[in-house]
Homo-oligomer: A and B are copies of this chain.
Amino acid sequence: MQTTKPSSKMFLDIVEELKLMINAEGITVGDKLPSERVLAERLQVGRSTIREALRSLELLGLIETRRGEGTFLADFKKHQLVEVLSTFIMQQPNSAVDVKKTRVIHEKAAIEEICNDPVKRELPVWQSLIMIINDEGTVLREDIMREMIIATDNRLSLKIWFLLKQYSRVPYGEMTNENENGMLIALLENMISGHVVEAIVSYDRWIEVIEGEMNDDSRVV
């Protein structure tokens, strides 16, 4: 049974065994894994060792445990890759600048992808956003960017962006004001028209404005 030589870290071997078992038995997303006691019996180790391996995988979001029910292979949507990254990446010096740059990378990439894809350009959500801005005079800032990232249909990028947004000092949680609405309309319309360069320019202007505003605020504080 023991195909892999036991290392000094038994629980790591268990993780490997579990991966093999999942593949061998065709366990897929949502399926139930054998119970801890069964696994301990089958792999000939103590239950606590099994638990250490399972808890590791749970922290990564690879499995999901429900008391009284069992342990289940988790859906990718629940994978904690990004969250995990954040815990040990974010609190480094210089990270504020990096976080902003990286957030912008993802936002611009979304804008460009939409501009270059007729189908995504014609999504009704853009017209809706324009109407909301015109009718109500304001909209939640982050709603706009989020819709753009969502439109790219890239869950991973969305997750990364969401996390970066939280760590950013950018005031996305606020409503837009008169000054920026024009730029946003320009951004949206350029995007709808597929004018990449102009859309990016509008975006840059908008970011510049709301970050300038943020700096004014922080000066007061």
Question: Which residues of A are in contact with B by a Cβ distance under 8 Å?
Answer: 8-9, 11-12, 15, 19, 28-29, 48, 51-53, 55-60, 62, 67, 76, 79-81, 84-85, 87-89, 91-92, 94-95, 98-99, 101-102, 105-106, 108-109, 152, 154-157, 159-160, 163
Contacts and interface: CB of A to CB of B under 8 A. Distances in A.
A29 to B, nearest CB: 7
Nearest to A110: B105
A95 to B, nearest CB: 5
Contacts of A59: 11-12, 15, 56-57, 59-60
Contacts of A85: 60, 62, 79, 81, 159-160, 163
A60 to B, nearest CB: 6
| The 3 A-B residue pairs with the shortest CB-CB distance in the complex, in nearest-first order | A56-B59, A98-B156, A52-B55
Nearest to A47: B48
Q: Which of A59, A156, A160 has the most CB of B within 10 A?
A: A156
A40 to B, nearest CB: 14
B108 A11 contact: no
A60 B108 CA distance: 29
Contacts of A52: 51-52, 55
A10 to B, nearest CB: 10
